[in-house]
Structure 1
Amino acid sequence: MTKIRIAVQKSGRLNQESLSLLKSCGVSIENGKDQLKAAARNFPLEVFYLRNGDIPQYLRDGVVDIAILGENTLIEKGANLSIIERLGFSKCRVSLAIPKGTAYNGLTYFEGKKIATSYPNTVKDYLAEKGIKADLHIINGSVEIAPNIGLADAICDIVSSGSTLFKNNLKEVEVMLTSEAVLTVSPKISDEAQTILNKLQFRIQSVLKGQRSKYVLLNAPNDKLEKIISLLPGMKSPTVLPLAQEGWSSVHSVMNKDSFWDVIDELKQAGAEGILVCPIEKMVF
């Protein structure tokens, strides 16, 4: 029986969130400690636990069919690999940072400077586009210490909260790109594996749509119903049911969580009452 092979990061936050996504898609992984490969019990899928930086090569070689990895890694090492789904977690940015007490007046600061980084291709392409020439010092591992020991004048690294930079007396001065977890596919994927991928991607999309949405129930006076309905984005159109109290209806709809509070304020002003908001586990179209 054909199985689709998916690579995920061996450890860390991206590993946990990738497995959580698969679990939300109804995929149950037989996951033993220190395993490098595990099979799903209820879906034709095998998980390969790999170093993040190695995953693009495994995709190019067709060792795995698909992978969940950071977009920053794909930009650095995965040229010509296609993103088929943005997953919305493990968000970060790839930034340039310099010692906290150093004056900074723009990108010209980096002209002729030494930059320590694990992302040499990303830095080189970014600075070349800006017309800046710098000396790159490639470090595989923690680069934050490099300026403190005189190895570099600046660093380029991924930044989430910025706490690591702060602890190492550095400040972020340029955001080169933003990144999140993405689903990408091997150019050598077979037709059989592609069929399985289509099913898995459908499940992933249903989970992501649910995460991005809220289910809203409210009571509306019938004389204000038209205005209230016009404020609800919904899926196709809201559901409207009569209430036991004459002249009132119950309205059910779905809205994007990012615009949620703005819409709620407008609904209240339009006369909506008893607004109830519920999380959505999945949305299937």
Structure 2
Amino acid sequence: MENSMKITNLFGKFTRRSYLAMMSGLVVSCLVAPANAADDNPYGLLDTDSIMVGTMSDAKPYAFVTADGTFSGFDVEFFQNIAKRLGFEKDQVTFVGQDFAALIPSVVNGRFDVAVGAIGTTAQRQKVADFTDGYLAGFLSVLSSDESLSTIEALDDKRLGIVQGTLQDDYAQKHFPKAQLVRFPDNNSAVAALNNGMVDAHFLDFEAAKQFGKNYPGLKVMQNFASFDAPAGFVVRKGNSRLLDALNEKIHEAMQDGTWKELHSKWFPGSPMPKQYLPQN
């Protein structure tokens, strides 16, 4: 009996010691695992080895698909440069084109890490997603073949095309209350409707309007409206501060070393450059 008691006590001590050691190991492993996970995926990406980017395929010169099926444009090249500064090569950045109105929801829903494509920063959009510091500001334009549409009043009762969910959509609702707004998923379909007489004009970004004017000589920019209150930024999932902070740091690096200026001159020749985006000596 005494031997049995000793064996039982020894077994009890052993099991308690083992249990404490086991629990201690679990606590340590729980503390270490998230740190390792953060090290492996420091920017909270969907895939640690690549960046999934939502953009547009018809918004030249910002983001568009070339004849060989590759994405190009100011926003595309600028983001590729920023991604390289973060350690991602060109083939590690995947661009996927879709309608503008779906870009921010797709980031929110976890389809993309980032949305890119001259996306203006507004208070309403910031309620559902985070935006980097601004990197573009410009003008909005009325594109038409009707030269009489040179004033705001001339737009009254006219069918004005806009891309749904864009800054132009918001602007037109506020400033052209008597115009008949006709919404489209993208610029191509809106310009096609303009050429077919389904709308009287299309309201879009100035740079894109210039490009459509080159492609269709009958269309001209009738009037411009300054829009510097909602600069374009890259969109990331709300709360992903690691990626947001990293992008902001690299955006300002690219501005300071002249990369932004070089790309702007390439894609927007002759267009004004905001001083805050230029190297500060």
TM range (shorter): 0.5 to 0.7
Are residues 1:21 and 2:69 paired?
A: no
1:34-56 superposed Cα distances (whole Å, 9 cap, x missing partner): xxxx3xxxxxxxx4422262331
Whether the 8 Å CA contact 1:95–1:175 is kept in 2: the answer is: yes
The partner residue of 1:183 within 228, 234, 246 is 234
Structure 2's unaligned 5+ residue stretches are 1-39, 46-50, 57-70, 262-273
| Secondary structure of 1:162 counterpart | helix
**By percentage of residues, which structure has more strand?**
1
1:146-203 superposed Cα distances (whole Å, 9 cap, x missing partner): 33322111111222172422523323313263576523332143xxxx3454345333
Aligned to 2:252: 205
The CA distance in 2 between the partners of 1:172 and 1:94, in whole Å, is 11
Q: 1:197 to 1:84 in 2, by over 3 A?
A: closer
| Secondary structure of 1:117 counterpart | strand
Aligned to 1:114: 159
Aligned to 1:12: 72
Quote the RMSD (CA, aligned, Å).
4.0
**By percentage of residues, which structure has more helix?**
2
The CA distance in 1 between the partners of 2:83 and 2:210, in whole Å, is 29
The CA distance in 2 between the partners of 1:103 and 1:208, in whole Å, is 37
Are residues 1:158 and 2:158 paired?
A: no
Are residues 1:102 and 2:148 paired?
A: yes
Q: 1:79 to 1:27 in 2, by over 3 A?
A: same
Whether the 8 Å CA contact 2:42–2:242 is kept in 1: the answer is: no
| Secondary structure of 2:141 counterpart | strand
Q: 1:197 to 1:92 in 2, by over 3 A?
A: closer
Q: 1:113 to 1:158 in 2, by over 3 A?
A: same
Whether the 8 Å CA contact 1:119–1:156 is kept in 2: the answer is: no
The CA distance in 2 between the partners of 1:196 and 1:123, in whole Å, is 28
Aligned to 2:196: 149
Give the TM-score normalised by the residue count of structure 2: 0.55
The CA distance in 2 between the partners of 1:195 and 1:101, in whole Å, is 49
Aligned to 1:132: 177
Aligned to 1:174: 224
Whether the 8 Å CA contact 1:126–1:176 is kept in 2: the answer is: no
1:112-168 superposed Cα distances (whole Å, 9 cap, x missing partner): 111122246644532442362222222334233433322111111222172422523
| Higher RCO (CA 8 Å, separation ≥ 6 residues) | 2
Percent identity between matched residues is 12
The CA distance in 2 between the partners of 1:16 and 1:150, in whole Å, is 35
The CA distance in 1 between the partners of 2:234 and 2:115, in whole Å, is 6
The CA distance in 2 between the partners of 1:188 and 1:123, in whole Å, is 27
User: One-letter code of the match for 1:132?
Assistant: P
The CA distance in 1 between the partners of 2:205 and 2:220, in whole Å, is 13
| Secondary structure of 1:136 counterpart | strand
The CA distance in 1 between the partners of 2:143 and 2:176, in whole Å, is 18
Aligned to 1:86: 134
Give the TM-score normalised by the residue count of structure 1: 0.54
The CA distance in 2 between the partners of 1:163 and 1:98, in whole Å, is 13
Q: 1:195 to 1:17 in 2, by over 3 A?
A: closer
Instruction: State the 1:8 CA deviation.
Output: 5.0
Whether the 8 Å CA contact 1:108–1:132 is kept in 2: the answer is: no
Whether the 8 Å CA contact 2:149–2:222 is kept in 1: the answer is: no
The CA distance in 1 between the partners of 2:181 and 2:225, in whole Å, is 17
Are residues 1:57 and 2:57 paired?
A: no
Aligned to 1:69: 117
